[in-house]
Amino acid sequence: MKNKLQLLAILVAVTFIFSCGGNKQSAEKVVAKDTVKAPPPVVEKKYDRTLNDMSRFIAGLAPDSGSAFTTICTKNANWKNYSTLNNKEWDNINTKRITIMNDWATKELKTQREEKSDVFYPFSGPDMLHAITFYPDAKNYYLLALEKCGSLPNIAEMDSSATSNYLNSVNSSLQDVFNKSYFITKKMMNDLSKAKVNGALPLVCVFLSRTGNDVLETNYYHLKEDGSYEATTIDSLKSFVKVDFRKHGTKQVQSVYYFRTNLENPSFDKNISLKAFLNKLQPCDTYLKSASYLLHYKTFSSIRDIILAKSNSVLEDDTGIPYSYFDDKWNVKIYGKYVQVTKDFKGVFQTDLSQRYQKDTTRTNLPFSLGYHWGDKNQNLIKAEKKVRLLKGDPNKQM
């Protein structure tokens, strides 16, 4: 009997100890739960609407409700004429090219659009129009070209004559894009001079406005040698401009990075800061158009190597990277027609690409004209996709 009582006492004690421990643990949980602070509410950043108002103004678009530009747009006969002319030009280009391109890309670039990878566009000039048409939802767009960044005009400080001259310069600079789909370098260097449009930035903003976006903010940055950057106001070969925007009526912010740079090896290889920046890029989709066949030459091998290393896909015409560089690590699909290059270029016809076009019965025609063959409509496109895709987060990892 005594042994039974001792055993019972032990069981009661053990039960009491575990019970107290459990209550203590529960109490700690309650206290911890009660002391956890709720995360602060996400406050949407407020943007100065002046940039968007100005972008719409030089794009020839009617001002949004409450815009400070409403009065000038209503009373300025020059702007009204400019707007009417531009609306006709844009209606034409949207019908004949942009809408058709978007429909084509919905199917042929389905994977890229779903992944929303960054877009890399060397030799771009200010051409955000075609980049955003093919890849509308990328987080970042990286444009690299010879033309300076420039700045938007301060319309409020310009008289009627200066405003009219500026708008005429913008309209003139867009004519080759309207008619041919690309900028002519020599003409563009003149059109984007300080005395006229003043750099690539105004046209980047025009294209953003005309593709249904609100321009939120522009900032200039100086590149450091390690690829990082800091705020600056100087437009130089070591600086770039970043444009934040979002689709009208949405909250998702996207960005354009425009770099003024010479991509030929002697200059590019000395630009340590830009090369460091590009080497840090996440896996991207590269777009190349009307690139003067520069990537065919050994003097542009450095930027070509970066494209091949960083890209999960490359969409280009024959003026981009030669077909022979897409080895068995790539799946290549071809579109349209491949014919002799235009008379302005020599020694860049690709026999292997021509043979692929002759033998490939799966290729389809292009429903739009884009590139140097805009006159005869013998346009081609090449889509190369890496078989083993680079992973976001760590470009060295592969899928």
Helix (H/G/I), strand (E/B), else coil: 9: helix
Cα–Cα distance between 124 and 140 in angstroms, integer?
A: 15
Report the candidate in 277, 271, 273 with the shortest Cα–Cα distance to residue 257. Answer: 277
Q: What is the pLDDT of residues 342-362, one digit of tens each?
A: 888 999 999 999 999 999 999
Cα 238 to Cα 56, 198, 225, 263, 276: the distances in Å are 29, 18, 9, 13, 12
pTM as predicted: 0.87
Residue 195 has what pLDDT? 82
Do the beta carbons of residue 215 and residue 208 sit within 8 Å?
Answer: yes
Residue 37 has what pLDDT? 67
Q: What is the pLDDT of residues 81-109, one digit of tens each?
A: 999 999 999 999 999 999 999 999 999 99
Residue type (1 letter), 341: V
pLDDT tens track of the chain, all 399 residues? 445 445 444 444 444 444 444 444 444 444 454 556 666 665 678 888 999 999 999 999 999 888 888 888 888 888 999 999 999 999 999 999 999 999 999 999 999 999 999 999 999 999 999 999 999 999 999 999 999 999 999 888 888 899 999 999 999 999 989 888 888 877 888 888 888 999 999 999 999 999 999 999 999 999 999 999 999 987 776 789 999 999 999 999 999 999 999 999 999 999 999 999 999 999 999 999 999 999 999 999 999 999 999 999 999 999 999 999 999 999 999 999 999 898 889 999 999 999 999 999 999 999 998 888 887 878 999 999 999 999 877 644 443
Residues ≥6 apart with Cβ < 8 Å to 227? 273, 275, 276, 277, 278, 279, 280
Residue 25 has what pLDDT? 47
Cα 1 to Cα 7, 9, 14, 346: the distances in Å are 10, 12, 20, 111
